[in-house]
Amino acid sequence: MSKSRLKALGFQITEQIGNEAIGAIYKGINTKDGSNVAIKEIPLKDLDEQSKAIINQEISILKNLKHENIIKYIDTISTETHANILFEYANSGSLSSIITKFGPFPETLAAIYFKQVLTALDYLHSQGIVHRDMKGANILLTKDGLIKLKGFGLAVKLTEGEKTVVETDIPYWIAPEIIESRDNDISTACDIWSVGCTVVELLVGSPPYYDLPGAFARERILWDDQMPLPSGISENCKDFLEKCFVKEPVLRVDGKSLLKHPWIVGALENSNSKEGGRINCNEENSLEIVRREKEDLKIIDELNESIKSLESIQDFPDSAKMEETIKNGIRIIEILRKIPSMKEYFMKKFGLIKLVDILEQK
């Protein structure tokens, strides 16, 4: 990267935070105001025409979008060897990276985040734009719990004459009409199918048919009468997914309707009633709920360190070490009390149920 060129224009590179097919992603600082930015560095050498078209399409669309749940395009700084595209920085990374670190999401948290995703999609669709690449890796999260959609390289404006289907080896989030390369069927309904796949990704860690090679997954998406749904989900979640997975695009529900679905509207209310009404669920304070749930995830960082010393609790002959281990166990239980809405989830996730039984015997 030509760091001197970026520095001259007021941006300092700090660290690499990711990779995409056409370039690396860096975290940077705007030296004029101290704010963080994300910089996508794209090597110009050997860049094919399709990749150039994807880059230009992403910039063209993002320039004209203004929504709190869509990543903000800042600028493009070109050098002789690279194009550096600057975006708003989302501190907490993508939902897929959070799944990798913490595991799948409980339904309540998935519903919180997808309320924002659907709000962004409803805005895009009202502008005549289809995202076409909805998945966990393209949904970013800020430290304040705000969702930011990215990945507009495959997006298309329905008002434009040409609506090209881009071939991909990764079909797991793609609607059947797109897999069949039916150009005339490119519509906002494509994104709704992908919403269903991404909800499944959040709930179990991967989209439907992810255990199959791409070619086999395509066939299953096309020919199976029904998409497989995660076991153990609520009836509202099941109904939400079934509405997303209607095969015929003209019969598929739209984003505005999904925003009113009981799984989105009712998930938080049900959680609050079970937990004694931690916070009223309404439009004004929904962001505060998201912030609190994000704080829950931060608390889990503390759990990781304490759990390490508890993995072989029976193997501490030294009384001092045993005492310290028990203290750590008590600390874990105290931490879990801070997040009652997710206590059972994390107790099971980290295998703490047996641990608590052991500690109670000490």
| 322-351: burial string, b at 16+ Cβ within 10 Å, e else | eeebbebbeebeebbeebebbbebbbeebe
Which of 33, 46, 48, 133 is catalytic? The answer is: 133
Q: Which of 259, 301, 295 is nearest to 145 (CA)?
A: 295
Strands 82-88 and 36-43 come out as antiparallel
- 133 labelled catalytic: yes
Helices (H) and strands (E) in the chain, counts: 14, 9
Alpha-carbon gap, residue 49 to 218, rounded angstroms: 26
Length reported for the chain:
362
Name the amino acid, one letter, at 254: D
Query: Is 36 within 8 Å of 46 (Cβ atoms)?
Result: no
Name the amino acid, one letter, at 61: I
| 131-157: burial string, b at 16+ Cβ within 10 Å, e else | bbbbbbbbbbbbeebbbbbbbbbbbbb
Q: Which of 46, 15, 13, 45 is nearest to 30 (CA)?
A: 13
Query: Is 123 within 8 Å of 117 (Cβ atoms)?
Result: no
Whose structure tokens read 């493009």?
76
Tokens of 230: 């995660």
Q: Which of 169, 187, 137 is nearest to 179 (CA)?
A: 169
Query: Is 113 within 8 Å of 96 (Cβ atoms)?
Result: no
Determine phi and psi for 12, rounding to 5 degrees.
Answer: -115, 125
Say which DSSP state 87 is in.
Answer: E
Within 8 A by CB and 6+ apart from 312, the residues are none
Question: Catalytic residue numbers?
Answer: 133
